[in-house]
A = this chain, B = another copy of it.
Amino acid sequence: MAQQHHEMTAGEALSVYLQDQATEFLRSLRLHRESSTDAQGAEEALAAARSLRRAARRVGATLHTFRPLLDQEWTEGLRPELAWLSGTLAREHAYAARLDRLLGALHRLSTPAAPAVGNRAQPPAPRAGEAKAGARKPAGQLAVGAAKAAALLERQLTLARTRAHSAALQAFGSSRFHAVADNVAVMASEVPLRPAPDTDLKPLAAAADAHLTEAVAALPLLRAGHPYNAEALVHGLAADTAPEAQDAPWLKVRSLLRLHRYAQEVLLGAAPPDARLAAAGAALDRHREAAEAAAAAAAAARTPRIAPATAYALGVLHADQRHEVEAARFAFQQAWLREAVTAP
């Protein structure tokens, strides 16, 4: 719905966006309920949960960015509840994606090399998400370690995912969730605006933009732009929480980039973001996923009584995923600096 937003007041434009998202939230919720009672609806239930999260994320971000235009009490009550809901629903998907990523990487690392026909003719190395067909039987201590590492990760992350699934189902049935849904249903018909706000959409969107720019300026972009700077793995054997400190500013930019993107949607309608911001956002998504996958590999290596070959494979895997983190920073740097002036 590419509305003519410049003909509307700030309150009207904000209402249109929030009502659209609320409607999407309620539609997804209905789909989720229908598919959950259907035995074959697992796929649809996942898709519905995804679009429900998507809408909840946008509503929450909009309540944050444009809070001076909205009823304060209502905003402050609803935002943490939406964050709780998004977080609860996101976990199942995150564990599934993490397992996929780690098994994909282990598969890439443990597939025997194709017989060399000529180096130029070889296709690029497949990365996470690659097909698993056609693998020849691996052999030796290394491959045994990789297989055991895969089994260990599968066990641990499937258990975590199952628990997250139960938690999500429990959340859907909770009175806390029903209160959120009621609130969103009210919003779908009328958004509680502040009576006489002393600001407009644009300065608030500009503030979101400024926060993003400030956070990007704090990133070590110069270093990230030098390939193979080995930064993401540094301190990797120091302490269990070592990467968190260096990852934090990147995760912060990821959040602020989303806030910026959703603010632009309010201003301009729900158009897809420009290619540059989309690439930057995708790089930061990859950053987060790889960082979490690396942490999961490190955590699995702390399982008591694992074989040294398993631990070795998990070490290789951890470093591989930290390398992905570094690659994601490089990709972000490249995307961000491509042409810095495209925002309207």
Contact = CB atoms under 8 A, between A and B. Distances in A.
29 contacts: A108-B230, A111-B235, A112-B242, A113-B246, A119-B246, A120-B218, A120-B219, A125-B229, A125-B234, A141-B240, A142-B240, A145-B237, A146-B237, A228-B324, A230-B320, A230-B324, A233-B320, A233-B323, A301-B308, A301-B309, A307-B308, A308-B308, A310-B311, A311-B312, A312-B314, A315-B319, A316-B316, A316-B318, A316-B319
B112 A227 contact: no
B316 A238 contact: no
Nearest to A246: B113
A2 interface: no
A237 B110 contact: yes
A323 B228 contact: yes
Given A108-B234, A112-B239, A141 B227 contact: no
A220 interface: yes
Contacts of A37: none
Contacts of A223: 124
A311 B315 contact: yes
Contacts of A227: 227-228, 327, 330
Contact of A124 (B229, B238, B301): B229
Interface of A: 106, 108-113, 116, 118-120, 122, 124-125, 127, 138-143, 145-146, 218-220, 223, 227-231, 233-240, 242, 245-246, 249, 298, 301-302, 306-320, 323-324, 326-327, 330
A228 B306 CA distance: 30
A128 B341 CA distance: 39
A250 B143 CA distance: 26
A142 B317 CA distance: 15
Contacts of A315: 311-319
Contact of A109 (B125, B229, B237, B313): B237
| A141, A218, A230, A307: residue with the most chain B Cβ atoms closer than 10 Å | A230
Contacts of A220: 119-120, 122
Nearest to A305: B308
Contacts of A310: 308, 311
A236 B320 CA distance: 10
Contact of A127 (B111, B230, B237): B230
A240 B138 CA distance: 11
A146 B239 CA distance: 11
Contacts of A326: 228
| A127, A239, A306: residue with the most chain B Cβ atoms closer than 10 Å | A239
Contacts of A233: 109, 316, 320, 323
A119 B239 contact: no
A238 B118 contact: no
A334 to B, nearest CB: 9
A40 B326 CA distance: 46
The 5 closest A-B pairs by CB, nearest first: A315-B315, A227-B227, A319-B319, A228-B327, A308-B311
A86 B340 CA distance: 55
Contacts of A146: 237-238
B113 A242 contact: yes
